[in-house]
Amino acid sequence: MIQDIYPHHFLLDYKLRSPAPGDAFLLFHGQQVFLNAGGSYPHYEELDFSGTDVHFLFLFAIDNQNYFLADLSDEKANSFYALQEQKKLLFPHSVRCLRDLRPMDLAFAGYTAWHLHSWYQSNRFCGHCGAKTVPGTDERKLVCPACHAEIYPRISPCIIVAVHDGDRLLMTKYAGRPVSWFVLIAGFIEIGETAEDTVRREVMEETGVRVKNIRYFGSQPWGIPGNLTLGFTAELEGSDEITLDTGELSAGRWFLREEVPVPDDDVSITSAMIHAFVKHEF
Ligand SMILES: [Zn+2]
């Protein structure tokens, strides 16, 4: 999965620090990320920010590799990126392409950086009084200098569940989304719910099926769009008849273990759970 970067180590120690040669930069602009000609993150010495109004934000380190965000003022960002493209120094890519970078620590760095970038972007102003926020000095937070509100990074918890009945697995297809293959039932945890409540509710809402023996499988940080996905397995309880939520889904059916469509993907927890079922791990 995207977070499986062993033997590398993800280090979250927060420090207010300035970039130095060798440090890698995540340059996001709109829904794009700018990579160097080698298709990877540019290092500090490859970048020329002269003439821009830029703030550097330390993100995290993977082993000894530091990662930074460059936060350019809105007025200067367009001309900066246009110049980088013109000079053939940096090239725009969709942020979703970051999941395809290898080795896996590069994909993980990109998705995690996007999560932090999105949080910084959407909290530039205090939600209580409207003043401009500033980064915290002692831990990862944003602070309002006017009313002293503290804003911590936001993670949206969601569940994914592999509903099984002996040698059969319940799989569904989304309606009207780019994901056009069979996946597992998933959804966001609502305020006031336990993760297990969400599993029962989502399975019932999407397929009309009841479940029992809900077991934790594992979790995955997923930087686009900023989730922590909690994976569960659950057994069918009672009728296996599917009543599909056609607003959300275009198809839903039971697959025999040997017929399960296995995704060609080693990045997502969805894929890890489907592989685990096929290998008789549950
Ligand atoms: Zn405030």
Is 191:163 a contact under the CB 8 Å cutoff?
A: no
Question: For residue 149, how far is its CA from the centre of ligand 1 (angstroms)?
Answer: 5
Question: For residue 129, how far is its CA from the centre of ligand 1 (angstroms)?
Answer: 4
Domain containing residue 143: CATH number = 2.20.70
CA–CA distance, 62 with 67 (Å, rounded to integer): 8
Question: For residue 254, how far is its CA from the centre of ligand 1 (angstroms)?
Answer: 52
Q: How many structural domains are present in the chain? A: 3
Question: For residue 232, how far is its CA from the centre of ligand 1 (angstroms)?
Answer: 39
Compute how many other C-beta atoms are within 10 angstroms of the C-beta atom of residue 20.
11
Omega before residue 135 within 30° of 0, cis: no
Give yes or no: residues 201 and 229 share one domain.
yes
Domain containing residue 195: CATH number = 3.90.79.10
pLDDT at site 109: 97
- Whole-model pTM: value is 0.93
Give yes or no: residues 240 and 198 share one domain.
yes
pLDDT at site 265: 85
Give yes or no: residues 89 and 112 share one domain.
yes
CA–CA distance, 135 with 79 (Å, rounded to integer): 26
DSSP-assigned states of every residue in 246-269 = TTTEEEEEEEEGGG----S-SSSH
Question: For residue 123, how far is its CA from the centre of ligand 1 (angstroms)?
Answer: 11
Beta bridge partners, 134, equal 143
Question: For residue 151, how far is its CA from the centre of ligand 1 (angstroms)?
Answer: 10
Beta bridge partners, 221, equal 228
pLDDT at site 135: 94
Give yes or no: residues 160 and 274 share one domain.
yes
Give yes or no: residues 167 and 262 share one domain.
yes
196-251 per-position pLDDT tens digit = 999 999 999 999 999 999 999 999 999 888 999 999 999 999 999 999 999 989 99
Give yes or no: residues 113 and 129 share one domain.
no
Give yes or no: residues 130 and 183 share one domain.
no
Per-residue pLDDT of the chain (282 residues; tens, 9 = 90+): 999 999 999 998 888 889 999 999 999 999 999 999 999 999 999 999 988 889 999 999 999 999 999 998 878 899 999 999 999 999 999 999 999 999 999 999 999 999 999 999 999 999 999 999 999 999 999 999 999 999 999 999 999 999 999 999 999 999 887 777 899 999 999 999 999 999 999 999 999 999 999 999 999 999 888 999 999 999 999 999 999 999 989 999 999 999 999 988 889 999 999 999 999 999
Domain that holds residue 92: 10-122
pLDDT at site 76: 86
Last residue of some domain: 107, 122, 137? 122
CA–CA distance, 100 with 108 (Å, rounded to integer): 10
Give yes or no: residues 113 and 160 share one domain.
no
Give yes or no: residues 77 and 104 share one domain.
yes
CA–CA distance, 61 with 169 (Å, rounded to integer): 39
